[in-house]
Structure 1
Amino acid sequence: MLDKPPDNPKSHGRNAGHRDRLRERAAIGGVDALPDYELLELLLFRSVPYKDTKPLAKDLLARFGGFEGIGAASHEAIEDAVARSLGYRPGKATRAIALDLQLIFDVTRRAAKEPASKRPVISSWTALLNYVRVALQHEPREQFRVLYLDNRNQLLLDEVQNRGTVDHAPVYPREVVRRALELSAKSMIIVHNHPSGDPTPSRPDIDMTRQVIEAARALDISVHDHLIVGRDGVASFKQLGLM
């Protein structure tokens, strides 16, 4: 295996021609017209300057199941995939490529979060769903979060209350409400994920939600919804008539 890209002038020329043609297609037709692997190719051009990035793009999408899977993967997993695909020995070059990819997806996550944090959450349903899906859809372990809102339904804080196993994250209703009081929150939205992929609420999910609602009601704090995120979609307790 190689520590760095081979210095092959002929290969450089062929790749440069392909890169120019792909950039021109993107500029004329727009990036929306490109398939996923070509869009990822474009992103990888800067990280892998002299090697054909099409096989790497296809390998990454296949290994992680798409863009969201790549974005949720650990640095080590991405670096390993890059090394295997390019035939490099893990080292400075593979670390740099993995870091570049993580930076791209971290920027995407922050961009998805901005609309929910800058506008009233309740009136921005699409932005809210997009945010929670990006944040939790590919989490390998269950995570319990609370979006705390002010009296105008502006987001005060998105806080991870607990992380758990592949199928359970402990929840303490009193702690959820105590944190709302500390933040002077007037309402909240509960969010957690099902790593199994199926967002259907379980009986413990329903029971826990009712306990949080009762604890919050005693202090005049509203619970607007409980969202469960899975790879198959997002389930809303309010829409399902469970609250």
Structure 2
Amino acid sequence: MTNGEVSDLSALWGSGLPKPAPTPKPHYHGHRDRLRDRATAGGFAALPDYELIELYLFRTLPRGDVKPLAKALLARFGSVGGVLGASLDELKTVSGVGEAVALDLKLLHEATLRVSRERVARRPVITSSSQLHAYVKAALAHEPREQFRVLFLDKKNQLIADEVLNRGTVDHAPVYPREVMRRALELSSSAIILVHNHPSGDPSPSGADITMTKEIIAAGRALRIAIHDHLVVGRDGVASFKALGLL
């Protein structure tokens, strides 16, 4: 366009003819600021799950509308816990989730686990069952494969270590009593709590779970290592052998 043409257009607009309509702003324009303001004013607890995830995604994806992505993550994994508990590869199956988003979500998950672990470690584990159950549920409720882990305790029933002793398939994680006892002796542990998950979601102990627990109890008795409980974790809750009268 020449200078003359620009002058001609200016003259036309000056004569009262309508100017071209401005480019419309995206429908989400200002949404981030409004959401931050609501979170600040009303507290994070008042936000629905998808908005909580949105707020977190703002840091990873500084531009664009992330509400559809937050809703897609919840639709795929069912809950905030399900989103954070999903593996890196599972997260990346959701359209719009790349390496950066998946990694940041897993970092958030690890941070929540460490906070829960600190609460458990500060006091005798067997006297803080609600915090213990919250911790193992956060760690295992959304694991896609069965995982067997052991909480090793000292003479004061405080946590020495939480270790994964085996990872298995969707419905089985083999465990050997001698391996459990060997590790307990290495850590000078006086007592242990067994923990494993049921990826099906139902935490009800199976016949195989009960048999395996009895074998570990027998092995521990010979070494004077107590088995305080066996917790089975599922999306539907945490089952305690002790509470069920199975220990």
How would you bin the TM-score normalised by the shorter chain? 0.7 to 0.9
Aligned match for 1:205, one of 196, 206, 209: 209
Aligned match for 1:73, one of 86, 89, 93: 86
1:149 aligns with 2:153: yes
Aligned match for 2:51, one of 38, 43, 48: 38
Deviations 1:93-140 (A, max 9, x none): x32222222222221122122111222111111110011001110111
Matched length:
225
What pairs with 1:190-201 in structure 2 (closer than 5 Å)? 190-201=194-205
1:240 matched residue in structure 2 = 244
2:20 matched residue in structure 1 = none
Aligned match for 1:111, one of 99, 111, 115: 115
Aligned match for 1:53, one of 59, 66, 71: 66
1:5 matched residue in structure 2 = none
Q: State how far apart, in whole Å, the 2-side matches of 1:58 and 1:77 are.
A: 16
What pairs with 1:119-198 in structure 2 (closer than 5 Å)? 119-198=123-202
Q: Is the 8 A contact 1:82 1:98 kept in 2?
A: no
Q: Is the 8 A contact 2:69 2:96 kept in 1?
A: no
SS of equivalent to 1:81: coil
Detail structure 1 runs of 4+ shifted over 3 Å in the superposition: 8-11
The answer for unaligned runs of 5 or more in structure 2 is 1-22
Letter in 1 for 2:224: D
Q: CA deviation at 1:17?
A: 1.4
Q: State how far apart, in whole Å, the 2-side matches of 1:102 and 1:128 are.
A: 21
Greater radius of gyration (CA): 2
What TM-score results when the alignment is normalised by the length of structure 2?
Answer: 0.86
Q: Is the 8 A contact 1:227 1:236 kept in 2?
A: yes
Q: State how far apart, in whole Å, the 2-side matches of 1:74 and 1:25 are.
A: 31
Q: CA deviation at 1:82?
A: 4.1
Q: Is the 8 A contact 1:15 1:50 kept in 2?
A: no
SS of equivalent to 1:122: helix
2:6 matched residue in structure 1 = none
Q: State how far apart, in whole Å, the 2-side matches of 1:140 and 1:34 are.
A: 28
Letter in 2 for 1:26: A
What TM-score results when the alignment is normalised by the length of structure 1?
Answer: 0.88
CA RMSD, Structure 1 to Structure 2 (Å): 1.7
Cα–Cα, structure 1 residues 82 and 100, in superposed 2: closer, same or farther, change >3 Å?
Answer: farther
Percentage of identical aligned residues? 62
Q: State how far apart, in whole Å, the 1-side matches of 2:184 and 2:217 are.
A: 12
Q: State how far apart, in whole Å, the 2-side matches of 1:130 and 1:57 are.
A: 24
1:225 aligns with 2:238: no
Deviations 1:146-170 (A, max 9, x none): 1010001111111111111111111
Letter in 2 for 1:177: M
